């Protein structure tokens, strides 16, 4: 995808350059004809200076800036640029004074200069003015080329950084999937095994839910996007399987939306919060609770999760509020820059998470 975009950007850039040159060449030609000027001597001289400026621009933009200036070889860049400017000056002077030399126009010019000298007793330094004008224009053009070159380099660095962040995001997603899988599946299989002799129908239903979770982790989450309904089904099945090992001392409240327009979101977005609520919010001696809910309205998702914090949770929660939380924040920053609001509070004995994602495409 990035390669296709790069090719498209190159075509657009080349097209803009071609259009610019057509305009630069055609406007003077049009004006010259519009005023019925049969003398095209100055028009040709204009084209010579324009081509000289274009040569300085493209040599700087395509070679000098990327090969020298952006490689911290600024002294070499200035030396070569100075040589290029002087070389183009002598070349354009030679073409104008020799190849495009017009004796009639030169005679008229000398006559005007003679008259100016006689009236003011001052002869304008035309040669020095020509050099000064060429150097000034050349440095302005080189500065413009430098600005474009630096902007192009910054854009390339930004695209490269985005690719690296995308690869990192995919790695974190794979890590998240692996993190959800092993212990959870092991404990769930043990719970189902215990149920087989007690409640066969519940055991069968649990196996079906477990297979749906595995299918979601192995296939649907591979594409980088999934439907909101599938994500909710995954969380519901996950919670139902976690209920198998809950005691009567745990108060569980779950509220997911049922009537909404389905849309695509990144997979496993809310699972870390749900998983950690069960991991850190349960106590087998004291009464504990877990509250998980979600609301979808317009183009926003409101997700909240609250759980009690037992003695075990107070110690383990340091991991959740440290490395785990940082990974969740990084993923949200990559997926929804400036589109989300994450609030987490750990006021014992309750741990609260509130996540609001806005401006979604629904």
Q: How far separated are the first and last CA of the chain, in Å rounded?
A: 23
pLDDT tens, position by position, for the chain (362 residues)? 444 445 567 788 788 888 888 888 888 777 777 765 666 667 788 888 889 889 999 998 899 989 898 888 889 989 999 999 999 989 988 887 787 766 556 556 556 556 656 655 555 555 677 788 888 888 899 888 888 888 888 888 888 887 777 776 666 666 655 555 566 677 677 778 777 877 778 888 888 888 888 888 777 766 778 899 999 998 998 898 888 877 778 899 999 998 898 999 988 889 888 888 888 777 767 788 999 999 998 889 999 999 988 655 444 443 444 446 677 787 888 788 889 999 998 877 888 999 999 988 76
According to the model, what pLDDT value does residue 250 have?
86
Contact 169, 333 (CB under 8 A): no
Q: What b/e readout covers 318-337, taking b as 16+ CB neighbours within 10 angstroms?
A: eebeeebbeebeebbeeebe
Q: Report the C-alpha gap between 89 and 85 in whole angstroms.
A: 6
Burial of 220 (0-12, 13-18, 19+ CB in 10 A): middle
Count of other CB atoms within 10 angstroms of residue 144:
13
Contact 310, 286 (CB under 8 A): yes
pTM, rounded to two decimals: 0.54
Eight-class DSSP state of 309:
-
List, edge to edge, every strand of the sheet that includes 350-357: 250-255, 288-297, 300-308, 350-357, 340-347
According to the model, what pLDDT value does residue 253 have?
93
According to the model, what pLDDT value does residue 316 have?
45
Of the candidates 162, 168, 159, 172, which has an alpha carbon nearest to the alpha carbon of residue 267?
A: 172
Where in the chain is CATH 3.30.565.10?
162-357
Q: Report the C-alpha gap between 174 and 57 in whole angstroms.
A: 47
Rounded to the nearest angstrom, the gap between the alpha carbon of residue 63 and the centroid of all alpha carbons in its chain is 27
According to the model, what pLDDT value does residue 315 have?
42
Contact 303, 294 (CB under 8 A): yes
Measured N-to-C along each axis, helices 271-280 and 311-319 cross at an angle, to the nearest 10 degrees, of: 140
According to the model, what pLDDT value does residue 133 have?
84
According to the model, what pLDDT value does residue 152 have?
86
According to the model, what pLDDT value does residue 1 have?
45
According to the model, what pLDDT value does residue 124 have?
53
Contact 355, 340 (CB under 8 A): yes
Of the candidates 35, 79, 18, 28, which has an alpha carbon nearest to the alpha carbon of residue 49?
A: 28
According to the model, what pLDDT value does residue 106 have?
58
Q: Report the C-alpha gap between 319 and 280 in whole angstroms.
A: 10
Tokens of 253: 């409240």
Q: List alpha helices for the chain, DSSP H.
A: 2-34, 41-59, 65-67, 74-94, 103-120, 126-196, 200-218, 228-242, 271-280, 311-319, 325-335
CATH topology of domain 162-357: Heat Shock Protein 90 (3.30.565)
According to the model, what pLDDT value does residue 325 have?
67
Rounded to the nearest angstrom, the gap between the alpha carbon of residue 32 and the centroid of all alpha carbons in its chain is 47
According to the model, what pLDDT value does residue 116 have?
56
């Amino acid at each position: 995808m990035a390669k296709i975009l790069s090719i498209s950007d190159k075509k657009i850039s080349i097209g803009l350059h071609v259009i610019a040159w057509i305009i630069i060449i055609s406007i003077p030609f049009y004006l010259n004809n519009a005023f019925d000027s049969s003398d095209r001597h100055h028009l040709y001289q204009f084209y010579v200076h324009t081509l000289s400026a274009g040569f300085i621009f493209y040599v700087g933009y395509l070679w000098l800036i990327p090969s020298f200036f952006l490689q911290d070889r600024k002294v070499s860049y200035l030396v070569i640029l100075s040589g290029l400017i002087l070389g183009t000056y002598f070349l354009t002077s030679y073409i104008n004074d020799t190849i495009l030399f017009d004796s009639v126009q030169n005679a008229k010019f000398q006559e005007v200069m003679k008259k100016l000298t006689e009236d003011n007793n001052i002869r304008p330094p035309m040669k020095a003015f020509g050099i000064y004008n060429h150097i000034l224009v050349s440095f302005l053009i080189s500065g413009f080329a430098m600005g474009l070159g630096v902007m192009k380099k910054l854009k390339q660095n930004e695209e490269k950084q985005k690719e690296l962040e995308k690869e990192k995001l995919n790695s974190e997603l794979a890590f998240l999937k692996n993190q959800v899988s092993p212990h959870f599946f092991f404990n769930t299989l043990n719970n189902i095994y215990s149920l087989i002799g007690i409640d066969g129908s519940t055991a069968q239903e649990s196996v079906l839910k477990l297979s749906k979770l595995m299918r979601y982790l192995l296939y649907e989450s591979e594409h980088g996007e999934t439907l909101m309904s599938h994500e909710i089904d995954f969380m519901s099945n996950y919670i139902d399987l976690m209920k198998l090992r809950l005691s009567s001392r745990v108060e569980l409240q779950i509220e997911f939306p049922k009537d909404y327009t389905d849309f695509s979101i990144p997979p496993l977005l809310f699972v870390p919060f749900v998983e950690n609520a069960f991991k850190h919010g349960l106590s087998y001696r004291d009464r504990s609770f877990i509250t998980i809910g979600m609301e979808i309205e317009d183009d926003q998702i409101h997700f909240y999760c609250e759980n009690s914090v037992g003695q075990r949770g107070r110690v383990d929660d340091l991991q959740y509020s440290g490395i785990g939380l940082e990974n969740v924040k990084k993923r949200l920053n990559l997926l929804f820059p400036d589109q989300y609001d994450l609030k987490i509070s750990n006021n014992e004995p309750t741990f609260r998470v509130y996540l609001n994602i806005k401006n979604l495409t629904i």
